[in-house]
Amino acid sequence: MSISPRDRLIVPLDVPSVDDARRIIDDLGDSVSFYKIGYQLGYAGGFELAQQLIQDGKDVFMDLKLLDIDNTVEKGVGSIKTMGAKFLTVHAYPKVMRAAVAGRGDSDLQLLGVTVLTSMDDEDLDAAGYRMTAAELVAKRAADARAAGMDGIVCSAQEAQSMRAIVGPDMAIVTPGIRPIGSDAGDQKRIMTPARAIAVGADYLVVGRPILGAPSRSDMAKSIIDDIAVALGKR
């Protein structure tokens, strides 16, 4: 993929208000071109902010993790595709993904299948009733995503290299749980540094708290982008 290092960094606007989000966007300025909006901000005016960001030339990742009956998912994606967002997530259940692909139609919206949340490990999956490891479930859902005609998957960077062999060269691999050296893992369990994640095959990195909590958000973002550029040169 011919994607610049800057465009591979996705900053999540996981804050409670649009005013909070705008302060982050102002702090980051031109250092960041790609933002993720999820439930917390989405329900607090984030959909309107997403459209404003798109009008300002930014890329937007709508992290809604849709999961519902086929008709509801298809119609929901049909509505979202008019926003102009770049990415939209759905849970990587085969029927859900096929419905999302039908709803997307021939629009430019790219659909990502969420395999296993990076906050979950084997013990969590066992407690939820899954009789396979996180790696095994990610692999199954990645294969299902490819078969459904999805544009990419969301998985831990720890699985990126093995998933590339499953999804092929053209599907995007988006990895949350990215932590620069010295950063706190927080509630993430399957984590990796930015440079290592790129080196093993991730296309896009979602980096939240290390940037949002930094003394200089723009400097931290630029440092991560520099790490991405170095790693791309070695890949």
Q: What contacts 24+ positions apart, CB below 8 Å, involve 1-5?
A: 1/172, 1/203, 3/203, 3/204, 5/225, 5/226, 5/228, 5/229, 5/232
CATH for 6-234 is: 3.20.20.70
| Domain extents in the chain | 6-234
Of 169, 183, 168, nearest in space to 227 by CA: 183
Ranges of H-type helices in the chain: 18-28, 39-41, 47-55, 70-80, 94-104, 122-127, 134-148, 160-167, 194-199, 209-212, 217-234
Q: Which two tokens stand for residue 58?
A: 């930014």
Retrieve residue 18's tokens: 């649009």
Which of 20, 27, 68, 124 is the catalytic position? 68
Q: What token pair was written down for 4?
A: 């610049």
Structure confidence at residue 81 (pLDDT): 96
Any catalytic annotation for residue 63? Answer: yes
Comparing CA positions, the residue from 150, 149, 122 lying closest to residue 138 is 122
Q: Cα separation of 177 and 169, whole Å?
A: 22
Residues at the binding site for substrate are 14, 36, 63-72, 118, 179, 188, 208-209
For residue 135, the cross-strand partners are: none
Question: What's the pLDDT at 186?
Answer: 53
Residue 70 tokens read as 């086929």
121 is catalytic: no
Whether 173 contacts 163, CB under 8 Å: yes
Predicted local confidence at residue 181, as pLDDT = 60
From first to last of its 235 residues, the chain has per-residue pLDDT tens of: 589 999 999 999 999 999 999 999 999 999 999 999 999 999 999 999 999 999 999 999 999 999 999 999 999 999 999 999 999 999 999 999 999 999 999 999 999 999 998 788 899 999 999 989 989 999 999 999 999 999 999 998 888 999 999 999 999 999 998 877 655 545 445 557 898 999 999 999 999 999 999 999 999 999 999 999 999 987 6
- Which tokens go with 188? 């993430």
pLDDT at 2: 83
**What are 210's two structure tokens?**
């290390």
Q: Is 19 one of the catalytic residues?
A: no
Annotated binding site: 14, 36, 63-72, 118, 179, 188, 208-209
